Structure formats: structure tokens, C-alpha cells
Amino acid sequence: MGLLRTLLRRGAGIFAMVGVTLLLICVAAGASGMEERILRGKMNHARMGYAMSLAGQVESGQLQPEEVEELMQTYDREAIESYGLDRPWWGRLLPTLIMVVTFDLGEADTFMRTDVWGAISEAIPQTLTLLVASLVISAPLGILLGASRARRVQTRGDLVSSLMSTASFAVPGWLLGYLLLVAFIRSWYSGLKYYGGFISTTGPSA
């Protein structure tokens, strides 16, 4: 019984933490204007499809050209009310929370109108692969170096490892990546015959 009570208490704590985190995300997205940009992007995408359907009706003779502007104005008013863009951002907190929970992040403003969550989810397997590979290398190496440093306190190796540890925390990972690219671009990377990431449109030459 005590174990069940502990598990329920921990589960309630995790649920509360996730809820507060999602609420803070919604507040930050609303206050910064990001949520409004997402909604307007979705509205403009739907508006484009509606305008194309009206253009097809004009070509077929079902509508007169002067009727299109009035229909578009009516559509804009209804869309603004439907998306809640006529209200302040705090009046859209609940819809924004639902949008975040369901990963409805809108569409990227590109030529093909790519779904944002679809683009993110495509990169998740590669990201996890890189993360697991780096952990497999860094975790044992860090444990061995830490144990070795603990056995040899105030030595030259201890000083070097301390400096390297401080530098690794001080230099951002993305900056270190760029520096490594600059260092190896001419000697190693330029000698590759087949590159392009996990997915490439061309294969290695026979």
C-alpha cells in the first residue's frame, strides 16, 4: 500500500510538472506572438485553397468576378473569429494548450507548405541515433577519466583534465561543431567521395 501511495504521489508530481511546463509554453508562445503567427499561417493556407476554389468557379461560370471579393471578405471575417484572432492572446490559452498537446504547430512557409511537426518528426530518428552514439562514447570515457583524475589529484594530468572540462562547458556545442568543420574541412571532409547525411539522392560510384 505504501508503494502504491508513493507511485501515485510521484505520478501526480510528474503530471503537475508537465502541466505547468505546457502552460508556461503556451504563455510564452502567446506573449511573444509566436502562437498568433502559427494561427495566421494556418489561416492563410486555408485561405489560399478557398481562393483557388473560387477561381475555378469563376472560370466555370458559376461565379461572377465581382462576387469573389465579397466572398473573400466574408471568409476572412469568419476565419478570424474561428481562429480567435479577434481576441487577445490570453483569451486563446485553452486552444493554444490543445494545439501544443496535439503537436499542431502549423505549416512552414515554404514552397511545398511542409507540416512543421512532420518535418520535426522526420529528424527524430537521426537525432536519437546521434544522441545514443555520443552517449555510448562519452559516458564510459567520462567515467574512466573521472576515476583516473580522482586517483591523481593535483598532478599535471589533473590540471589538463580540469582545463579541458572547463573549456567543454564554456564553449557551446554548436560553436565547437563549426570549429571542427573549419579544422577538418580541407583535410578529411573534402576527401570523402560519398556524403550527404543519412539520406542522399545519389549513391556511391561503382
Query: What residue segments make up the domains of the chain, in order of their start?
Result: 12-114, 121-191
What is the rounded distance in angstroms from the CA atom of residue 142 to the CA atom of residue 165?
10
How many secondary structure helices (H) and strands (E) does the chain include? 7, 0
Tell me 89's DSSP state.
Answer: G
**Regions of the chain with pLDDT less than 50:** 111, 206
What is the rounded distance in angstroms from the CA atom of residue 117 to the CA atom of residue 99?
11
Question: Tell me, what's the pLDDT at 111?
Answer: 45
**In whole numbers, what is the pLDDT of the chain averaged over residues?**
79
Q: What are phi and psi of 60, to 5 degrees?
A: -85, -5
Q: Are 100 and 22 in contact (CB under 8 A)?
A: yes
Is this structure's pTM higher than 0.85? no
